[in-house]
Amino acid sequence: MDLAAQFLKLVSYPTTSDEESATCPSTPGQLTLAKAIVEDMKAMGIADAFVDDHGYVYGTVPATAKAPTIGLIAHMDTSPDAKGEDIRARITEPYEGGDVILNEAQDIRLSPKEYPVLENHLGKHLIVTDGTTLLGADDKAGVAAILACADALLHTDKPHGAVRIGFTPDEEVGRGADLFDVKGFGADYAYTVDGGALGEIEYENFNAAAATVVIHGKSIHPGSARGKMVNAALLAMEFHQLLPVYETPAATDGYEGFYHLTHMAGEVEEAKLSYIIRDHDAEKFQRRCEFFQKAADFLNEKYGAGTAEATVTESYRNMKEKILPHMYIVDAAKAAMEACGVTPKVVPIRGGTDGARLSYEGLPCPNLCTGGENFHGRFEFIPLEDLQKVAEILERIILDAAKPSEV
């Protein structure tokens, strides 16, 4: 398989998910891509490939030996945090240092001064955009690597177990695992391929919730508003100021949690703020959710009942406790990386994956790297060589699982 061509094809489909939509998938472009992927899978020789009514893609690489059935999972949607349509992706010449000019007309540059991680990729071909959209390596790099792995297994004479493939919609809005058919999937364990830099292995993720607060105001002509007007837009600003100022994504790292304001809209009569709440520690996460509600309660006490309506909806939990009894899955990934010349690095996910939810549904599912960098923004990129290495690692995991155990 021409992995580069496959990846460029995948990112050409606009698949931004929409948290405001009640449908699944939340946007029609995801279903369009799902159908195209199924056609590619069938052309490769995955005869049972199909997309269900909700946009989930499934398929199987048949076993040629007795071994565990391993699942490989990635998501097809891209983040709504940046423009995800009309993506103009290209492959650069080997990176030699300095700025990468993404868009000469608009003077948009990918600079190591802003993104020092570039210096880790000297000599590699970078897949970039024109600087006006995200790339979509999160997580179409995962999709591409899984397809390349499947293609390699279908053409090898080396023994391997069955591989179950799953591609999900709406992961970026926290709903990717909602309708995933774990029982029908039938894997003994699985990996999501939805991480970042080459070598990363993740089995600790945030506990996560989506939160909104709707502020109800009272409009009246400004000329006669004294003592009568309640400006919902101003109260929304007051609500946000009640949250800890240094507990935001830009001020935290590692295991530190945060409140992240993702969207705001308002006028005098009504305002709405949307947040995500994150923390690795379950007790701290619970306290964060409670504090969010208390901030709304404070406004209700100050301005009257019904002024602020807060809603907190849990998205997923930290998968660590579900992975620890199955650490051989993580060890297998480490061994495969080392066999492929990659140094494994276990890191906590400052985010989440479908695997977190799936682990709680009985399918242990740590997360593996894609090789991508700077996700969810216009300066997202992925080294082609790293993407190719990820496909190689996936194949090695599957082949190693079929080897006789050493006693």
pLDDT in tens, 307-316: 999 999 988 8
pLDDT tens track for 217-226: 999 999 999 9
Average pLDDT over residues 330-341: 98
State both tokens at 263.
């969207």
pLDDT of residue 89: 98
- pLDDT for residue 216: 98
* Alpha carbon of residue 395 to chain centroid: 22
How many domains does one find in the chain?
Answer: 2
61, 136: one domain: yes
191 shares its domain with 297: no
39-62: per-residue pLDDT in tens? 999 999 999 999 999 999 999 999
Mean of per-residue pLDDT scores for the chain: 96
CATH number of the domain enclosing 353: 3.40.630.10
Give the whole-angstrom CA distance, residue 384 versus residue 387.
Answer: 5
Among residues 272, 296, 316, the one where a domain terminates is 316
Q: How far is CA 337 from CA 122, 330, 333, 356, 394, in A?
A: 21, 11, 6, 22, 9
E strands in 267-369: 270-279, 308-316, 345-346, 367-368
Whether residue 199 is found in the same domain as residue 343: yes
Query: 201 and 337 in one domain?
Result: yes
Query: d(Cα 361, Cα 367) in Å, to the nearest integer?
Result: 16
- Mean pLDDT over 320-339 rounds to 97
In this model, does residue 407 exceed pLDDT 80? no
| Measured distance CA(81)–CA(334) in Å, rounded | 32
Residue 327, SS3 per DSSP: helix
Same domain, residue pair 104 and 194? yes
Residues 162 and 25 in one domain: yes
- Please give the angle made by the CA atoms of 179, 184 and 190, to the nearest 5 degrees: 85
What CATH number does residue 276 fall under? 3.30.70.360
Nearest to 271 by CA among 247, 313, 299, 250: 299
The residue segments making up the domain with residue 163 are: 3-205+318-401
* 251 domain-assigned: yes
Residues 37 and 129 placed together within one structural domain of the fold: yes
Q: Name the residues annotated as catalytic.
A: 77, 171
C-beta separation of 259 from 243 below 8 A: yes
- Comparing CA positions, the residue from 353, 384, 407 lying closest to residue 72 is 353
Residue 373 β-bridge partners: 381
Per-residue pLDDT at 315: 83
Boundary residue ending a domain (301, 316, 331): 316
For 197, other C-beta atoms within 10 Å of its C-beta total 18
Residues in the chain: 407
- The reply to whether 201 and 242 lie within a common domain is no
CA 36 – CA 50 distance, rounded (Å) = 10
Residue 187, in any domain of the structure: yes
pLDDT per position as a tens digit, 233-263: 999 999 999 999 999 999 999 899 999 999 9
Residue whose structure tokens are 């058919």 = 181
Domain assignment of residue 406, yes or no: no
Q: What is the pLDDT of residues 116-148, one digit of tens each?
A: 999 999 999 999 999 999 999 999 999 999 999
* Among the listed residues 207, 208, 211, the one whose alpha carbon sits nearest the alpha carbon of residue 274: 211
Model pTM? 0.86
